[in-house]
Amino acid sequence: MYNGTVINQFHNAEVKGTRSMTRIAMMRLKKRIALIAHDNKKEDMLGWAKYNVETLKQHVLYATGTTGTLLEKELGLKVTVLESGPLGGDQQIGARIAEGEIDFLIFFWDPLEPLPHDPDIKALLRVSVLWNIPIACNRASADFIISSPLMCKDYERILPDYESYRQRFSSQ
């Protein structure tokens, strides 16, 4: 179940006389950012992080194994380092997203390199979209996210309503 800060807001639906609930996840000023880079993209991630190091220092960082170790060593960033991607790190990040513990994902993946853990990568991208978190898959999109005015304030991220999906077999 989603453990992030959630606000339930009721609003009138378009159907007269009905009300539905909108759930909001609060992304606080101090964002929780996941950083992942495939082997051929680690130098790109390091360059991007070096350029944005002062901004990144203001947030809580998570990363998969080698990427996190590299960022700690080279830039002195405080990072919660999880397993390497092929050893389950991508799944650890995905679980934290589903639990509301990560606000957005910077994932520099290599589109030209087939990887043995491709299903894990697809699952990570799926859960990111499922919970409506921002995703940057290359340096340009990461630049747009990190430089957004929304980085400097609280943000109300709308959570999809999956209650009907959760209850689909309960009435049988």
Distance CA 36, CA 63 (A): 6
Neighbouring-strand partners of residue 26: 156
Active-site annotation, residues: 90
DSSP code for 64: -
Determine how many CB atoms are found less than 10 A away from the CB of residue 14: 6
Q: At what angle do helices 118-130 and 89-98 cross, to 10 degrees?
A: 10
Distance CA 116, CA 131 (A): 25
Helix (H, G, I), strand (E, B) or coil at 79: strand
